[in-house]
Chains A and B, each alone.
Chain A
Amino acid sequence: MTATDNHNGTADAYAAERDTTEGRVYTVTGGDWDELVASVDPVSEERLIVNLGPQHPSTHGVLRLVCELEGETVRSVRPIVGYLHTGIEKNLEYRNWTQGTTFVTRADYLAPIFNETAYCLAVEKLLGITVPKRADVIRVIMMELNRISSHLVALATTGMELGALSMMIYGFRDREKILDIFEAVCGLRMNMAYVRPGGVAQDLPRDGLKMIREFVDYMPQGLDDYEGLLTGNAIWQERTQGVGYLDVSGCLALGVTGPVLRSAGLPWDLRKTMPYCGYEEYDFEVPTHNGADAWARYVVRLEEIRQSLRIISQGLDKLEPGPVMVEDKKIAWPAQLALGNDGMGNSLNHIRHIMSQSMEALIHHFKLVTEGFRVPAGQVYTAIEAPRGELGIHAVSDGGTRPFRVHMRDPSFVNLQSLPALAEGGLLADVIAGGASLDPVMGGCDR
C-alpha cells in the first residue's frame, strides 16, 4: 500500500496506513529511503570473495576454496586442487613394477594398504597370476585395519573442524593402536609398501596376530565412547543434520562413491558388488542411511568400523599356514625380510645364502632386483572399495619391466567435485562440515 491510498484521501508522504482487525496500522516510510537502503544493502548487493586455504586447518589438507559469500550465505564455492601434486603416476614409469608399490602407497597417505592392493591387483591381472590364499587373507585383514584407521581420522578431523576436540584426541589415540600393528607387521607405520605384486612382503609376526586380536577386542568399547560423545550431542546434531545434502542421483552424476553414496541410501560397495581378494567369503553388512547429509555419513562410517572388525575376526580365523608370495621365482621378490636388533632388514639367512652359498642365487637376486620382471603387454582396470570410495587403477604395460602408464582413479579427487553441490546456498560454516563429511585426502586427490 502506498501513501496515496490513504482512506481519507489525504496523502501522507511518510506514513502509509491501513485498517486491520487490530485497528489502524501506520507504516512509516521515508519516500525513496527504500531505494536508498537497497542501494547500500551489504547483504544483497555486496558479494564477498573469501579465499579459504590452501593452508587452513579446516580444509582437510592443502585444499583451497574460493567462496563467494552473500553475508553468511555461500553463493558459490570453487575448490582448487593440485597443491600436493607430486607426479606419482609419471614417476612410476621410471621404476620397475615392484618399486611401483612404494610410489602408489604415498598417494592417499591415510589408506596406503588400499593403494598398494589396488595396484598389485592390477599388476597381477596383467601377469595373469593369483596370489596364495594366505596372502589374500592378510591383505583383507590389513585393508580392514586400514579402513578403520582411515575412518578414525575422518571422525577425528571432522570432530576437530566442528569444535569437538575430544573426538580428535580419541580418534588419533585409537588410530595409534592400528599404526602400532602396522609397525609390528612391516616395520613402518605409514607408506609401508607391504603389499607387493604376487602377495605381501612378509608373513604376519606372532605378536602381530596377538595385537590384532587385542585391538578387535578393544575397539567396540572405543566406538561406544564416540557414540556417547557425539551421537546424542545436540551441537553435533545441529552441525551435521541436514548439512551437506547430496542425494543418490547427485552422487551418481558426480561420480561420488564410498560412504557418501551409501549415506544417500544406495548399498553400492565393491566388496559386495564386484568382490576381490575373496571378500565374497566374508559375512558382513553394507551399512546405509537415507539422510544423505553429514550426519548420515558419520553414522555410516561408525557402522563401517564395526563391520570391518567383523571381517578382521573372520580373517583371523581363516588364516591357515602357507606361503604369502607366489611360488614363481621369476616374480616373487628374492629377499626375505626379518626383524633384527636394528629394525627391519634383509634376512641374514638370505644374505648368507646369496653371498656365500649360491652364485646362482646371487645372480637371480641381482637380476630381479635391478631389472625386475617383465609384464605382458596390455591394459587392465582394477577397482577396490577404499575408505573413500572406488579406488581404480588403470595400468598399461608395453611388455617391459616398467609400467608404461598407471592412472589412479582416486576417490578423493572425484568426490571433491561434489563440494559445490553440497555447500552452495548453505552457510559458510557448513562448507567446512560438508567438506569434512566427504573426507578428502589431498595426497590422493593430487597424486
Chain B
Amino acid sequence: MSADPTGTGAAGPDDVQPVGMQHKGLFGVSDTGDTSGFGGLVQAQPSAGEIVSTPEPLGEYFDEIVAALREAHGDEITRAVIVDRGELTIHIAPDRVADVCKTMRDDESLRFELCSSVSGVDYPDQRNRLHVTYHLTSMTYRRRVRLETAVGLDNPTVASVTAVYPTADWQEREAYDMFGVVFEGHPHLTRILMPDDWEGFPQRKDYPLGGIAVEYKGAHIPPPDERRAYK
C-alpha cells in the first residue's frame, strides 16, 4: 500500500496550495483592492487534502458493512472508510466497483438492493480528480452507504455496474456525459443530456459556465462565472 492509496492527495508533494486554485483574500481578486480586510488571507483547500479514514470502530451498522466487505474481498478492498455526519463512505479502487457492488447486493448481511444514485464530483486539486459516487440503499435493513472511487484524467476508467444494477445505465451515461468518466462494460456509453456532438465535459470544474454580460442602465454586469465572488 502506498502512502497515498486513494490517489487523492495534492498534485505534487510540494504543492501545499495546488496551482490554479489559490485562494487569497476573500474575493480571489488581485486587480482592484480587496476591501473586505481579508486581503492577506490564504485559505487551505479542504477538498485538496488527502482522504483520512475515520478510526474504527465506526459505530452504528457501519462496522458490520465494512467487515462483510473485507471478508468477501480482503482487507485491501477498502482504501479509506469515512464516517461523516452519520453517513458511511467507502473508497474503493475503480476496477473493483462492479465486484464490490455485486457483493453489496448479494451478500445476505448487506443486501443493498437499490442503487439510488450514481454521480460524479470533480476535485480539480487532486491527482485522481474525477470521483464517482454510488449511493446504495438496503431495503431489507433500511440502510444507506456511499461507495466512492477516484480516477485521473490520464485513464478515467471505472468498471461499470450496469450488470449488477441495470438502473445505473442512464446514470453512468450522465456521469460520462458530464465528467468524461468512461465506464468499462457499459452496453452503450453515449451522451445522454448533452447533444451527441458536444465537445467537452460540462460539469468539470475547468469547464466554464458560460453566459453573456448584461447591460443595465449603462453598466455591464459580467456573466456569473466572471463576477467576483467570495471564495
A binds B: yes
Binding site for B on A (CB under 8 A): 81-82, 85, 87, 89-91, 93-96, 125-126, 128, 252-257, 266, 268, 273-274, 370-372, 377-381, 383, 390, 392, 394, 396, 398-402, 404-405, 407, 409, 413-414, 416-417, 446-447
A residues near B87, Cβ cutoff 8 Å: 379-381
Whether the Cβ atoms of B202 and A90 lie closer than 8 Å is yes
- How long is the Cα–Cα vector from A370 to B229 in the complex, in angstroms? 9
Whether the Cβ atoms of A394 and B47 lie closer than 8 Å is no
Whether the Cβ atoms of A90 and B193 lie closer than 8 Å is no
Which A residue sits closest to B44, measured CB to CB? Answer: A399
A residues near B193, Cβ cutoff 8 Å: 81-82, 85, 446-447
Whether the Cβ atoms of B135 and A392 lie closer than 8 Å is yes
Whether the Cβ atoms of B194 and A252 lie closer than 8 Å is no
B residues near A126, Cβ cutoff 8 Å: 85
Whether the Cβ atoms of B135 and A381 lie closer than 8 Å is yes
Select the residue from A125, A400, A447 with max chain B CB neighbours within 10 A: A400
Whether the Cβ atoms of A254 and B166 lie closer than 8 Å is yes
Whether the Cβ atoms of A400 and B230 lie closer than 8 Å is yes
Contacting A at CB under 8 A, from B175-197, are 178, 191-195
Whether the Cβ atoms of A94 and B119 lie closer than 8 Å is no
In the complex, how many angstroms separate the beta carbon of A162 from the nearest chain B beta carbon?
A: 26
Whether the Cβ atoms of B135 and A409 lie closer than 8 Å is yes
**One of B142, B195, B231 near A274 (C-beta < 8 A):** B142
Whether the Cβ atoms of A95 and B231 lie closer than 8 Å is no
Select the residue from B85, B115, B191, B225 with max chain A CB neighbours within 10 A: B85
Select the residue from B45, B114, B144 with max chain A CB neighbours within 10 A: B114
**One of B144, B202, B209 near A94 (C-beta < 8 A):** B209
In the complex, how many angstroms separate the beta carbon of A250 from the nearest chain B beta carbon?
A: 9
- How long is the Cα–Cα vector from A377 to B202 in the complex, in angstroms? 23
B residues near A379, Cβ cutoff 8 Å: 84, 87, 89, 121, 133, 146
Whether the Cβ atoms of B166 and A273 lie closer than 8 Å is no
Whether the Cβ atoms of A392 and B116 lie closer than 8 Å is yes
Which B residue sits closest to A396, measured CB to CB? Answer: B121
Whether the Cβ atoms of A255 and B167 lie closer than 8 Å is yes
Whether the Cβ atoms of A94 and B224 lie closer than 8 Å is yes
Binding site for A on B (CB under 8 A): 45-47, 84-85, 87, 89, 113-117, 119-122, 133, 135, 137, 139, 142, 144, 146, 165-171, 174, 178, 191-195, 202-203, 209, 224-225, 229-231
B residues near A398, Cβ cutoff 8 Å: 45-47
Given A81-B193, A413-B170, A414-B171, A394 contacting B119 (CB threshold 8 A): yes
- How long is the Cα–Cα vector from A250 to B167 in the complex, in angstroms? 10
Whether the Cβ atoms of A377 and B133 lie closer than 8 Å is no
Given A82-B193, A87-B202, A371-B230, A381 contacting B46 (CB threshold 8 A): no
- How long is the Cα–Cα vector from A274 to B135 in the complex, in angstroms? 15
Which B residue sits closest to A393, measured CB to CB? Answer: B117
Whether the Cβ atoms of B47 and A404 lie closer than 8 Å is yes
A residues near B231, Cβ cutoff 8 Å: 400-401
B residues near A90, Cβ cutoff 8 Å: 202-203, 209
Instruction: With A93-B209, A379-B121, A398-B47 given, name 5 new contacts (CB 8 A).
Output: A125-B85, A383-B144, A390-B116, A398-B46, A407-B117
Whether the Cβ atoms of A414 and B85 lie closer than 8 Å is no
- How long is the Cα–Cα vector from A404 to B169 in the complex, in angstroms? 25
- How long is the Cα–Cα vector from A416 to B169 in the complex, in angstroms? 11
Whether the Cβ atoms of B117 and A378 lie closer than 8 Å is no
B residues near A91, Cβ cutoff 8 Å: 209, 224
- How long is the Cα–Cα vector from A268 to B139 in the complex, in angstroms? 8
- How long is the Cα–Cα vector from A349 to B170 in the complex, in angstroms? 50
- How long is the Cα–Cα vector from A398 to B165 in the complex, in angstroms? 30
- How long is the Cα–Cα vector from A102 to B117 in the complex, in angstroms? 23
Whether the Cβ atoms of A94 and B225 lie closer than 8 Å is yes
Whether the Cβ atoms of A405 and B85 lie closer than 8 Å is no
Select the residue from B120, B168, B193, B194 with max chain A CB neighbours within 10 A: B193
Whether the Cβ atoms of A255 and B121 lie closer than 8 Å is no
- How long is the Cα–Cα vector from A290 to B64 in the complex, in angstroms? 34
A residues near B121, Cβ cutoff 8 Å: 379, 396, 404-405, 407
B residues near A447, Cβ cutoff 8 Å: 193
Which B residue sits closest to A410, measured CB to CB? Answer: B117
24 pairs, A vs B, C-beta closer than 8 Å: A81-B192, A82-B191, A87-B202, A87-B209, A89-B203, A90-B209, A91-B209, A93-B209, A94-B209, A128-B85, A253-B165, A253-B167, A254-B167, A370-B230, A377-B47, A379-B84, A381-B146, A390-B116, A394-B117, A396-B121, A405-B122, A409-B116, A413-B171, A417-B170
